[in-house]
Amino acid sequence: MTAHVPAATLTAYASGDLGADDAMAWPVEAHLENCPRCQDRLAELVTGPVQEILAVARTAVLAESRSGPRPARRRRLRRLSYRWLSPSVIPWALVTLIAVAAAFLLDEAFSARSSVVLLLAPVAPLSGLAVAWSRRWDPAWETVSGTARAGLDLLLRRTVVILLTVLPLLAVVGWRVGANPALWLLPCLTFTAAALLLGGLIGVSRAAALIGAAWMLAVALPALVMVRLPVLVQPESLRGWAVAAVALAGLVVLRAGDHRQHAGRN
C-alpha cells in the first residue's frame, strides 16, 4: 500500500463513472478495503442517494445492536471453578470442617488424651476424594468420563482443591494444639496418594472408604480407647511417612493410565 488513490480516480469512483466492470475499479476497491484514510476521503465525496442509503443502514445496525442478544459476560472465575472443583464439593467441605473442628475441641477439652487432631489428619482428605470422581456423586459422570480430560487430569485438579481446603484447616488446628506440622502433613499426603493409587484399580470412592476405615479401626480407635498416642503419629515415624508419601506419589504418576477408563466397579 504505497500510493493512495488519486483524487480524480476517487471522484470518478464515487460518482459511479468508474463502472463495476471497469478494470480501474478493481484496484481502487482493493485499496479502499484496507485504507481508512481513503475510506474517509471517499465518504466526503459520495453524493446524496448513497448518503441516504448509508444513513438507513446505520440506523438499522444500531437498532439491531440494541435489541439483539446481549454479548455474553466474561465468566473467568466461574470457568476456573468448574475446571478445578468437583461438583459435590460443598457438602463434603462442610463435613470435613465439622470433623476437624470436633477433633480440635476434643483435644482442647482433654489435653491429656491422645491427639485426636493427629489421628484424624491422615483421613481428612479421604471423604473429599470419595466424592471427587464417583459415579454416584457426580451427576454428569457418564458424559464426562468419555472425554479427553477424564482420568488423572481431572482427578488431580479436584484433589489439589481438596488438599488446598484441608491443609490450611489442619495447619490452624495443628498450630493451636502445638503439634509438629510434619506429623499431620505427611500422613495426610500419604493417604491421599494411597487412595489415588488404589483408586485406579477399584475406584477412588471405594479406595478412600477402604483406607479410611482401615485407619480408623486399626489405629485411631485403639489409640482413643487406650488413651495412648500410637507410634505412627509420633516423630520417630516421620522418616517412614516421608518415604511412603514420595513412593506412593511416584506410583500414582506411573499408573496414571489406570484412571483413564471405568474399570466396571466404581
Partner 1 sequence: MVRAVRADELAPSTGAWQVEATGLRVKAGSRLAVDGLDLTLGPGVHGLLGPNGAGKTTLMRALGTVIRPKGGRLHLLGRDVTDRRSLRAVRARLGYLPQMFGFYPKFTVRDYVEYMAWLREMPAAAVPAAAQRAVDRVGLTDRADSRLKSLSGGMVRRVGIAQAIVNEPDLLLLDEPTVGLDPEQRVEFRELLRDLGDTSCVLVSTHLVEDVVAACGDVLLVDQGRLVFRGVPADLARLGAHDGAGDSAAERGYSVLLRDHRSAA
Instruction: Check residue 77 for interaction with partner 1 (CB under 8 A).
Output: no
Question: What does the DSSP 8-state code read for residue 4?
Answer: P
| Min separation Cβ 1 and Zn ion, Å | 7
Instruction: Check residue 264 for interaction with partner 1 (CB under 8 A).
Output: yes
Q: Which of 199, 183, 201, 198 is nearest to 242 (CA)?
A: 183
Q: Which of Zn ion, partner 1, none interacts with 141 (beta carbon under 5 to 8 A by kind)?
A: partner 1
Among 75, 176, 228, 239, binds partner 1 (CB under 8 A): 75
- Tell which positions 34-93 bind Zn ion, by CB under 5 A: 35, 37-38
| Min separation Cβ 3 and partner 1, Å | 32
Of 168 and 264, nearer to partner 1 (C-beta) is 264
- Tell which positions 116-155 bind partner 1, by CB under 8 A: 138-151, 154
d(CA 157, CA 161): 7
CB neighbours of 178 closer than 8 A, spacing ≥ 6? none
| Complete DSSP assignment for 154-172 | HHHHHHHHHHHHHHHHHHH
∠ CA 180-109-226, nearest 5°, is 75
Among 36, 48, 49, 69, binds partner 1 (CB under 8 A): 69
d(CA 51, CA 54): 5
The grid coordinates of residue 180 equal 509438629
Coil, strand or helix: which one is 70? coil
Instruction: Check residue 265 for interaction with partner 1 (CB under 8 A).
Output: no
Number of residues that bind Zn ion (CB under 5 A): 4
Cα separations (Å) of 98 from 91, 102, 225?
11, 6, 22
Mark the segment that binds partner 1 (CB under 8 A) among 105-113, 163-171, 191-199, 253-261: 253-261
Cβ atoms of 95 and 137 within 8 Å: the answer is no
The mark string for 5-44 relative to Zn ion (x by CB under 5 A, - otherwise) is: ------------------------------x-xx------
Interface ranges with partner 1 (CB under 8 A): 69, 72, 75, 78-79, 82-83, 87, 138-151, 154, 257, 260-264
Binding site for Zn ion (CB under 5 A): 4, 35, 37-38
